[in-house]
Amino acid sequence: MKNKKTNYDNVKKALVAARGRIFEIFFIKRSTGEERKIVGRLGVKKYLKGGELKYNPKSLNLITVYELKSGENPGGYKAIPVENILNININGEKYEFGQK
């Protein structure tokens, strides 16, 4: 278990360490304040529609993750606020970022 400060670079390093593997990420939603869990991957390009984002995710302190389909959840691309990330589980290794 690793404790690190929640900032864009530390979160990005933890997610890049996944090297395309599936991971769990726990965070607090900005809109409702509820805790949320996403099982997803970085670097998924299959479902892109083309064009570019109308905003810069890094300048808004967001990480874009592809959430896998599960149950009634259709999956899709999600923008996660870095400052609200609680922890990330990658291949049995847990990265904790505090808060809660």
Transcribe 11-75 into DSSP letters. Answer: HHHHHHTTTT--EEEEEE-TTT--EEEEEEES---TT--SS--SS-TTTTTEEEEEEPPBTTB--
* Phi/psi of residue 85, nearest 5 degrees: -75, 130
Tens digits of residue pLDDT in 47-67: 878 878 888 888 998 888 999
Task: Round the CA-based radius of gyration of the chain to a whole number and report it.
Answer: 13
Q: How much is the mean pLDDT over the chain?
A: 84
C-alpha to C-alpha distance for 43 and 65, rounded to whole angstroms: 8
Band (pLDDT 50/70/90 cuts) for residue 34 is: very high
Residue 2 reports pLDDT greater than 60: no
Q: What is the per-residue pLDDT for 100?
A: 53
Residue 1 reports pLDDT greater than 60: no
